[in-house]
Every structure is written in C-alpha cells, then in structure tokens.
Structure 1
C-alpha cells in the first residue's frame, strides 16, 4: 500500500462573532465553568472543600503512586531515545533549514524562568535541608538525620525530583506540540499531538475534551507554583519591613493549631494583586516583549544570587554536593525510577512511613510536573521552532537539570553547612520553607551590615517577583492559545484579563480553604487525566517519526510547504 502524506489539516470550530470571536466555545466555556466552580467551592465552603480534596488525594496516592512514578520514567526513556535515534534526532521542529527565532541565552532564560525558576528560590534551600532531616534512608536506619552520612542521600532525592524526570515531562509535551504544529501545520494546541492515533476525529468532541483537560491541569499546576510563591513573597516582604501580612507569633486556628508567622488573608490578597496585576500586563505585551525581557532580567539576577552563594557560601561543600551528588543520583536513578513503596496500612510502621514519604515527595512532584507540562510544553514549543529534536532534548532536559543541580548544591549546601559547621543552631531548620533562603542570607550578612542583609532580601524579592510574573503571564497566554484553537492573535485581550483574574482567585480560594496543601491536592487530582494524554502523546510522536522515515525513503513529503509555514516577519 502506498504511503500518504501526513495529516496537515485539523479544523477546529471557533466563534465568528461576539465575545468568543476566534475562540472555541466548546473548550473555553467548559474550562471556565470548571475553574469558576472550583473557586466558588473553595471560597464559599472552605471546610467542605478541604475535607473532600483531602479524601480524594489520599485515594489517589494510595492507588496511583506507581502510575505516576513509572509514567515519568517512561517519559525519560522516550526523550533520551528520541535524541539518540538517528531518524528522530536530526529532524527540525519546523521546515528543513529553518533557524531558531531566539538566541540560546534568551531560549534558556525563558525556558528556565517559565519552567522551574520560581521553585529554585523556595526549594533549592528548603529541599536539601528537608531531605537532610528525613528521607527513606533515615526511615530505614541506613543513614542518620542531620548527620554527615546523610548529605549525599539528601542530594540524591533532591536531584531526582528536579532533574531528568521533571524536564522529561516538559520535553514530551513540547516535542509533541512543536513537531505537529511546525512540521505539519496543525493548530498549536494539545489535541494536535495525538493526530497519528486519532486523526481527524480530534476536530470534534474528543479533541475538545483533551484541550479542556489541558487547560484545567495548567491552571492547577501553575496555581501550585503561585501558592508556594505567595508564601515566599510575603515572607520576603516581611523581611524587608512590610508588616501586617502574616499571622502574629503565637496565633492559633479554630482547631487550636499554631499558625503564627504564616500568611494571613491580607497577605494573600496583597501578594496576588501585585503578582497577577504585573503578570496580566506582561501577558498583554506577548512573548517577544514582556516575557522575554522579564526572563532575561530574572536570569541575570539569578546568576548574581547564585554567584553570591558560590563565592561567599559553602564553596567547597557545594562542589562536593554537585559533582559527587550527580554521580550518586545517576547510580541510584534506575532503582529510584521504578521503585514503589507499598504501605502495610499500619500507621507508624516502616512500610507505612516509606509509602507516606513517597506520596509527600516523588508522587507529588511527578504530579506537579505533569500538571505543569501543557503550559511549559506549549511555551517550549513556541520558543523552540527551528531547533532539531536532539538539540531540543539536550537543551530542554540536560541543561536545565544541571542548572537546578547547581542551585541545590550551593544554595542548599550553604544552608546545610551553616547548620552543621557554621553555628546557625536551627535558625534555618526552624524557618518556613519559603523563608529559609531569607533566614540564611540574613544570618550570613547581618554580622557585616544589617543594610547589606536587607538589600539582599530585596534582591531576592525582586527576583521572586520576576519569576512569578513570568510563570503566571506565560500560563495565561498558553491557556488562551489552547482556547483559541492555537491562535495567538490580539483578540485574546479580554480573555487574558479573565484568566489572569481566574488564576489569582484559584490560588486565593485554595490557600484560604486549606493552605498550600489544598492546592497540592487539587493539582495531584487534576494531573491524573492529563498524564494519560501525555502517555498517548509519546506513542503518537514515535509513530509519526517512524512513518516519516518511511515517507522520506519513498519520496513522500513529511512537512508543510515553506511558504505556508514562514514566520509573519519573513
């Protein structure tokens, strides 16, 4: 049977007039209803929402832990396999000979800033410290909490959560979207990446459902990032002298639990007004202006802050944590990629604690990266046109992973070293996760000059602000692109305002109903259906590349015509 050219037309019905002009009502309206219902539920019935979300979370962690862990392992294998596979690795994510739009520096800056950058300011310090105090090796009695024999184990887990697995989730989504959009001319939306499996049927209800799932996952994944960011942003503003944003020390909730020094409702509202206001303005300016400049600014500030930790922090400790830690991570990776701890149901037993810890950390992270994948993947696709698959995989998986490892080695390493050898005496241990980096820098600089410590806190707040704004405005643009059937035109302005407000309200509602744990629960739930979509994306991409190799051998075109795919500027 003769080979046919690949599908290069996937019509998606959009409104031709009115408020939804240019948008797919079948995607935009249901997505808005789902998100609006979640906001109302969380704000009007916070206790009920918290209880229900908690029950769902427990059920998913009990039954789907293995699914999340093995799925992310599958993503890593697929991405590395595509880079190594000669037929796939040389393919251009565009027409043959097309060059990238952005320089490598801007590409890395936007990719890192939108993908994980904001998390670095919280978790580069907080996570190694947390794993230094407890991890499966401590639970099993193999290493000792807060002791030197536990340092490399702490880094193995930190690198696992922020390394190849995280970026493989983004790379799978980005590859699928870029391949089918810029080589095939299909709409820049999630459904296009499944055309080798479902073909033209994706123009209808099945395609609408896939895009709705992607929009909801994106909002919940970004809400998780913003939820952590709000905590840290308020902690930073408190450190630079802005009061009234946290509960006073000694405050308790209705159940008598201590909530002193945690973000209060005023702090949530103020932080979100600043972050979402700035991000909406940036989103209105588009990727080539606001987001690009913000990404470049936060990359420069990141280099400055990281250089401070390398030069004035635990320099040699960081070198050891980086190089030896990576080696330990790579050795442990095969086991950690497939191992699932099974609980015996006996609270407090070793098996129970191991399964509980895995749910708190690896399963949570894999769900977070999967929920974040439609947003980051679509964003990566938009900024990676003209690069080869091999270049994309190396640039979107290896380089950002190493950048994360550098942050964890020197920022987190400085914190651990100060507690072990620097006389911090629990100052960093006892600080909240978002406040740990501020507590550490203040401890380092206060003996020199209080003004210098205040200035560094201000730099971190500004850097955090740029990271949060970059993530939020990118997410708003991506959601609108999906809702508009892949169109990025200026008609999206009113909807940018809606989604900017909706994202802020989701974060506020979930924080009020149950703090960051409520956002975490909603995100783990929202990520589950999209994880199925991503697995299908992998099979669709492999099938498409295999068939394109056969088409090339038979002289059948595999890409759209150059004049059709040319950039508007050309």
Structure 2
C-alpha cells in the first residue's frame, strides 16, 4: 500500500467538556474559572498595591525587552511569510474556508467594509495623527544621525515606520489567527475556539488540560489587548470631553485624572455591557452604521480641507518606501550595549517602545479580531482571505495616516502651528489639530468637530468592549456563540473596566502597555504553533485529495460537526 493511501481523514470532533445546568451551564469551567481568577488577581493587585505592581511590571517589562524583543520581531516576520506562502501556494490558495462549493455569506463590499471597521477602530483616532507626528520628531534614522527630527528630511522616515506598525505585519497577526479559526471550524467542524487550531499537532489531547491552558492564555491575552485599546481610548475620551467644555477630568500632567478615568469607564463600559446583554441586536448595528458615517465625514474633512497634496505624497511615496524597506525592518533587531544614552541603547529602547509594543498589542488583539474575521469569511478561499485581510484594511490605515497625520505635520512645518499639535498629549493631538484648523474660521464649527470625534470615539469604544466580552465568553463556552447568562457578561464587562482603571491609576497607559506585552508573550507561542499547524493541515489535505480521502467534516463518516457555529450573530 502506498504512503498516499495510508493517510487518514482529519480530526473533526473535539469533545470539550462543558457544564450542564447551574451557574456555568454551557461553559467549560476549566477555562472560565481560571481565566476569571487570573484577571481578578491582576485587578486586585493593580488597585490595592499600585506602587508595588508598577515596580514589578516595569521590572518584568525590562527583562522581556532584553530577552524577548527579538522573539516578537521575528515571530511577526514569520507570520507575514506564512501569509505570503498561503496566498502563493496554489493547492492552499484555492481551498474553501467552509464546505466544498460553499459561497461567502457577504459580498465583497460588505466584507471589505466590515474589515475596514475592524481595522480602523479606537487606535486609529489616537494614532493616525499622533504616530506620524511622533516619528517625525524621533525614529531610528534621527537616533543614528541620518535625519533631523521635525524637518522635511525626516518626513519619509516618519511614514516608513508608521506604515510598518499598522500595515501588513499587523494584519498578518490577525490573518493567521482568523484563518486558523475559520479553517478548523468551518472545514473540520471543530469548536470555534483557539485550541482547535492546534489539532494537527496535538490531536484529541486538546480536549483536556492542554487545550484548557491554551484557551485561558487566549482569554487573558484578549482582555489585556482590549484593555490597551480602551486605555488609549479613555485618555482620548477624557481629552475630548475637556475640549468640549467638561472640566475637572484632567490632571496636572495633562492626562486623565482618577475622576476622569472612573467617569469615562462608567459611561463606556455601562453602554457596552447593556449592548452585550441585549444580545447584540439592532443597537450594535446602529452604532456600527454611525461609526462608518462619522469616519467617512472625518476622513473626508482631512482629505479635502487638510493637507491634500501633502497627504497624497505621504500615501504613495510612503507606501513605496515602506514596501522597499519592509524585509529589513521586519527582521532587524537593535541590540543595546547597556550604556545608557548610547546610540545602541537608544535604538533598542526605541524598538521596545514602538515595534515590540505594537507586535505584542496585535498578538494580544488577534483572538478578538481573528474570530471576527473568521465569522465574516466563511465560504471564501484561503487566497481571498489572506489577500483581503492583509491588503485592504492596511491600505485604509495608510489613508488615515497619510491625510490625518500628514495634515498635522504640514501644519507644524508650514501652517504656523508652532508646536500646538506636536506638544499635545497623544490622545489630544487630533483635537488640537482640528481646533487649530477651525477656530479662526468658526468656534461653533470647531466645537462641532470636537463633539463629532468624541461621539465617534465613544461608539468605537462601546462596540470594541461589547464585542470583546462576547468573544471571551465564546472561548469560555468552548466555541459556542449562543446566548450567555447575564452574570458572566456582567463579570467580564466589570473585569475589563477594572483592569483598565487599575492599571491606568497605578501607572497610566504605560502600565497597561507593560501588562499587555507580558500577557501577549505566551499567546505569541500559541500563534506560532497555530501557523505551523495550519501549514501542516493544508499540506496533509493536498495529500488526502490526491488519495481520495475526504477533507471536510460533512464527507467523513461518523463526523458530527458539532463544533460548527450557527452563523454570524447580528452585530
């Protein structure tokens, strides 16, 4: 008998034990309970021992940046390479993320629109202006003396690094996670949860302790990744409230005060928890439509009334520079010589502040965005998924950076801003810029745009927090997307708010950043294994097809497909 004929059908059933009846009805308690305990410990530690937690987190962060910075850089480069392989590999590219002949649920326009929404989000409102401006002041080229900060010869460098952090590398993290979830759930019939992506490596052992640990790691990473997003959002939301005349929410350093943090989180998490309790019905779709309309208005304002030609150049010249430099930027690791203030020390420090932080953020956020991408991509081919998830959202991010950030840089260089934008806090830069542009024309118009940004920010924050709670509960329930008991929704809504509040109060957004970089580390290992498992599964499927062995759960005798989700919930 030939080797081809020896290959067996793929695993199509993973019997994860869930509780029947009682408080944890439908949940895998071996995942839900440990995840709740770990997050509760983080909350209590940050709130009741803020000084100690800040010191310990900073010490751990220093070790991670010293030991694991290269791991973060190289593992994300690996994800990009895997995505390119899957898109170019003919046998892999044509495989359907569903049953054979299954068609996509959403047309291309709707699919791209939903990815656009996932790609822009809260972070874009902060960083579309703040990041190009920050790199315009300092980046590796200025540290090495190859360019001068805040001058025209540094603009291209600013965009090269901005595009790196929000471009193909970021979306490769999401694509790997989303592709794995879609492949093993919709082709194999396995539960829509992280552990299913490792079945080619560990098989049915994932129904037990090993699988529980993997899902717990995913839940903790997701909470910390979303906490990072909400942390930036809270700072910006408070800055916006201050701009529209609500005082007393800022501290002397220009950040959100404790009272501001508490008020912002009560509003954001209160609305998101109510939305989650409603079962993501009409309310969340209404909010999503508002997101899209307000985003188009705001971006259109920057393109038409901002630095139109500057943004055009930043978009296309920056994209060219980024693609040419991408291979080198993706694998280069700056090593510190331990001498504080030296060029090597400053380069390594900069890389820890920017690329390493971002790669940890995207990895921690991958279960959240990846699960969303999987749910909207059933029925598409792997090639469609990879190219769509990698290119379209990245290009939308580039458009925002080019015209929103480009307008800010142009105003500082040529428009007489004189540091008004540059010196503002990151979350406040977009408000400072629109106020500088509009106040001389009309105070009412300036106030109106500030209010528009605040409303847009609030809708993004509410939808992000709401979706995070539902996704965490889906993982805790062994991939079941059905309705969850209210106490669990309330717990995760409160836990997310308290993680953000505790870490912001104990050390500001840097404390959340540190916790997230630490929490993402174990999940980065899980994701690397998911990428290897996906390559192995696709290779074996090509062998099965040649041998006439079925590759989807509906064609395998005895397969139940009991992990197949019931479809995309209304959101």
1:11 aligns with 2:12: no
Q: Structure 1 residue 567: deviation in Å?
A: 5.0
**Distance in 2 of aligned mates of 1:96 and 1:284:** 36
| SS of match in other structure, 2:484 | helix
State the Cα deviation string for residues 77-115 of structure 1 (Å, max 9, x = none).
101210111111111111122222234444334333334
Residue in structure 2 matched with residue 171 of structure 1 by the alignment: 175
State the Cα deviation string for residues 218-269 of structure 1 (Å, max 9, x = none).
000000000000000011111111112112xxx3xxxxxxx2x221111111
| SS of match in other structure, 1:427 | coil
Q: 1:193 to 1:291 in 2, by over 3 A?
A: farther
Q: Structure 1 residue 296: deviation in Å?
A: 3.0
2:480·2:565 contact (CA, 8 Å) conserved in 1? no
Residue in structure 2 matched with residue 402 of structure 1 by the alignment: 395
**Distance in 2 of aligned mates of 1:464 and 1:491:** 27
- TM-score (norm. length: structure 2): 0.95
Q: 1:187 aligns with which of 177, 185, 191?
A: 191
1:115·1:471 contact (CA, 8 Å) conserved in 2? no
Return 5+ residue gaps in structure 1 as ranges.
252-258
Higher mean Cα deviation, 236-245 or 400-409? Answer: 236-245
Q: 1:373 aligns with which of 366, 370, 385?
A: 366
Residue in structure 1 matched with residue 541 of structure 2 by the alignment: 548
Residue in structure 2 matched with residue 255 of structure 1 by the alignment: none
Residue in structure 1 matched with residue 379 of structure 2 by the alignment: 386
1:109·1:296 contact (CA, 8 Å) conserved in 2? no
Q: Structure 1 residue 364: deviation in Å?
A: 0.5
1:371·1:526 contact (CA, 8 Å) conserved in 2? yes
Q: 1:52 aligns with which of 53, 56, 66?
A: 56
Residue in structure 2 matched with residue 245 of structure 1 by the alignment: 249
Equivalent runs, 1:352-363 vs 2, <5 Å? 352-363=345-356
| SS of match in other structure, 1:96 | coil
Higher mean Cα deviation, 102-111 or 373-382? Answer: 102-111
**Distance in 2 of aligned mates of 1:551 and 1:291:** 42
2:314·2:402 contact (CA, 8 Å) conserved in 1? yes
Return 5+ residue gaps in structure 2 as ranges.
none
- TM-score (norm. length: structure 1): 0.96
Equivalent runs, 1:265-344 vs 2, <5 Å? 265-286=258-279, 289-344=282-337
Residue in structure 2 matched with residue 459 of structure 1 by the alignment: 452
Residue in structure 2 matched with residue 254 of structure 1 by the alignment: none
Residue in structure 2 matched with residue 113 of structure 1 by the alignment: 117
Residue in structure 2 matched with residue 98 of structure 1 by the alignment: 102
Q: 1:200 aligns with which of 199, 204, 212?
A: 204
2:122·2:461 contact (CA, 8 Å) conserved in 1? yes
Residue in structure 1 matched with residue 34 of structure 2 by the alignment: 30
Q: 1:75 aligns with which of 76, 79, 83?
A: 79
Residue in structure 1 matched with residue 431 of structure 2 by the alignment: 438
1:351 aligns with 2:344: yes
Q: Structure 1 residue 131: deviation in Å?
A: 0.3
Q: 2:498 aligns with which of 495, 499, 505?
A: 505
Q: Structure 1 residue 288: deviation in Å?
A: 6.3
**Residue correspondences, number:** 558
Higher mean Cα deviation, 85-94 or 185-194? Answer: 85-94
1:114·1:474 contact (CA, 8 Å) conserved in 2? no
Q: 2:222 aligns with which of 199, 218, 222?
A: 218
The RMSD of aligned alpha carbons is: 1.5
**Distance in 1 of aligned mates of 2:283 and 2:180:** 26
Equivalent runs, 1:116-127 vs 2, <5 Å? 116-127=120-131
| SS of match in other structure, 2:422 | helix
Residue in structure 1 matched with residue 357 of structure 2 by the alignment: 364
**Distance in 2 of aligned mates of 1:499 and 1:110:** 25
**Distance in 2 of aligned mates of 1:494 and 1:193:** 29
Q: Structure 1 residue 116: deviation in Å?
A: 4.3
